[in-house]
Amino acid sequence: MADHPDPPTNPRPTNAPETSFASSPPAPPAPEPTDPLDAIDLLMDQGIARLTSIQNYRVTLDRQERVRDSLQPAETVVLNVRTEPFAVRLEWPDGPNRGREVLYSETECNGMMHIKLGKTLIPVPPMQLEPSSPLALSNSRHPITEAGLLHILTQTKTQVDRVRSGDPTLGNFTLEGPHVPDDFEVTCLEVLRTTPEGEFWRLVVDQSTSLPVLLEATAADGQLLERYHFLDIQTNLDELNTTDAFDPAVRFGRPITLPIDRLATAQPE
């Protein structure tokens, strides 16, 4: 009779998995990009993904802008944003514009800004303005359609892509950090850009959230062009998820029929 081989010691069960993930070493982290433009691109993508994953947010905004060579007074505004469909509500909690409110929504506002002024000696009814009209931009460098954190990130990403493709008009980008900048309490990354005209742009991003906390720009002579400091962000608020949150008819009554910029220039509707 032919000899039979001895059975293997501790035979493998037929239903045993091929690999035990519990005993496998963890996968090494993905290498960080070595090219500064790639690293900035990745940082912007992380922030964009975070913002597009939430329904809405509210953030306190300390801002100051130079408009038509005149530096506007610094002010504090509460910025409310609905991600999709895009909507913005600006509120002035204090200061000379206390009680002022501006609404813009892709769905509720028919493409118009709706404005309720704060307390005035003579009551003024709510007004409508084209977001890009000269009157709407008389005290702001940017239309309300560009308000919010997402625009900052997507614009920076677009600029980086243009620089990578060889566009010389946008200047040079560098990335600094992570570190805790002066006047901040969190670890941040700083995206810095110097333009051919000598403007210096500084975007400070919270490393833990990949969201902007400061955007600041100065001219070649050191004059401030714009500064936006974002504080105390809150996300996915039930109040901003209601149908009334960005509806001017609900928040401050039916707006005037004739947009104020057309009224001022005697243009027909």
Backbone angles phi, psi at 72, to 5 degrees: -75, 155
Rounded to the nearest integer, the mean pLDDT of the chain is: 85
Does residue 19 carry a pLDDT above 80? no
Which pLDDT score is estimated for 10? Answer: 47
Q: Which domain range does residue 132 map to?
A: 36-265
What confidence tens digit (pLDDT) does each residue in 161-212 have? Answer: 999 999 999 999 999 999 999 989 999 999 999 999 999 999 999 999 999 9
Give the pLDDT band (50/70/90) at residue 254: low
- Categorize the per-residue pLDDT at 253 as very low, low, confident or very high, splitting at 50, 70 and 90: confident
CATH (domain of 112): 2.50.20.10
* pLDDT score recorded for residue 18: 41
**How many other C-beta atoms are found inside a 10 Å radius of the C-beta of residue 111?**
12
Angle, helices 36-52 vs 149-164, to 10°: value is 150
pLDDT recorded at residue 269: 39
Give domain status of residue 83, yes or no: yes
104's tokens: 């813009």
Question: 261 CB contacts (<8 Å, ≥6 apart)?
Answer: 129, 130, 133, 134, 135, 136
Residue 183's pLDDT is what? 87
pLDDT mean over 87-103: 93
What integer pLDDT is reported at residue 262 of this predicted model? 47
1, part of any domain? no
61 part of a folded domain: yes
Within a domain: 28:
no
Residue 232 banded pLDDT, cuts 50, 70, 90: very high
pLDDT > 90 fraction of the chain, expressed in percent and rounded: 68
Check whether 13 has a pLDDT greater than 70: no
On whether residue 112 sits in a domain, the answer given is yes
**What whole-number distance in Å separates Cα of residue 163 and Cα of residue 41?**
12
How many domains does the chain contain in total?
1
Is residue 120 domain-resident?
yes
- Per DSSP, 244 falls in state T
Tell me the C-alpha distance between 227 and 232, whole Å: 17
Residue 121: pLDDT band with limits 50, 70, 90: low
Least confident of 45-49, 56-60, 79-83, 98-102: 98-102
Helix, coil or strand: residue 238: helix
pLDDT for residue 259 is more than 70: no
Residue 4 forms part of a structural domain:
no
